[in-house]
Every structure is written in C-alpha cells, then in structure tokens.
C-alpha cells in the first residue's frame, strides 16, 4: 500500500493494518522528511489518545493529516505506533 499526497509517496508498506476503513502504516514505512509533529491530540473511546503529524511536500502543508496512537487500549494493540491518514491523502495498492 502507498500513501500519496501532493503527487508524492509519503509512506509505503505491504504490512498495513485496516481498522475502521483506515490503513495504518508501520512507523518505519513513513518518509519522515515529510512529517512534522503537531500539538493536536484527540481521544477515541476505544483506541486511546491520538497524536498527529502535519505533512509538508514541496512547500505545501497539510495540517494534522496523519495520526497515530503512541499508547493504545488493549483492543487497539495492533495499531500501536502505526500511522493513518486523511485530509486528501490517498491510499493506493
């Protein structure tokens, strides 16, 4: 699977986990040069507290377009430390 934004592959892996129709990519599969930590946090009742990254490619920024769970509930262990996307990031096989 590939995560693409602004015509650039920002993550690529054959080992994603799909939860609630979102592909969660292993952290080591993201191209870290495009990811900037965000101060944003949200809480999911069953997964835990999410942290976010903003994505920057060729001078364009997509604020809080990627999220991950540094710590998860027991039910969400398969996505601990994995990164998912939204806000116009496309996922392709």
Reported as a single tens digit per residue, the pLDDT across 17-27 is 999 999 999 99
What pLDDT is recorded for position 50? 97
Residue 72 phi/psi, 5-degree rounding, is -125, 165
Position of tokens 């101060």?
A: 39
What pLDDT is recorded for position 3? 98
What pLDDT is recorded for position 14? 97
Position of tokens 């990164």?
A: 83
| Average of per-residue pLDDT across 25-53 | 97
What pLDDT is recorded for position 40? 98
What pLDDT is recorded for position 67? 98
| Average of per-residue pLDDT across 2-28 | 97
């Amino acid at each position: 699977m590939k995560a693409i934004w602004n015509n650039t592959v920002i993550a690529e892996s054959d080992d994603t986990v799909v939860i609630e129709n979102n592909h969660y990519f292993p952290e080591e599969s993201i191209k870290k040069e495009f990811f900037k930590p965000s101060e944003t946090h949200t809480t999911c009742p069953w997964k835990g507290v999410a942290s976010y990254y903003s994505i920057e490619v060729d001078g364009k920024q997509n604020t809080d377009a990627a999220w991950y769970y540094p710590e998860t509930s027991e039910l969400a262990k398969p996505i601990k430390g994995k990164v998912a996307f939204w806000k116009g990031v496309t996922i392709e096989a």
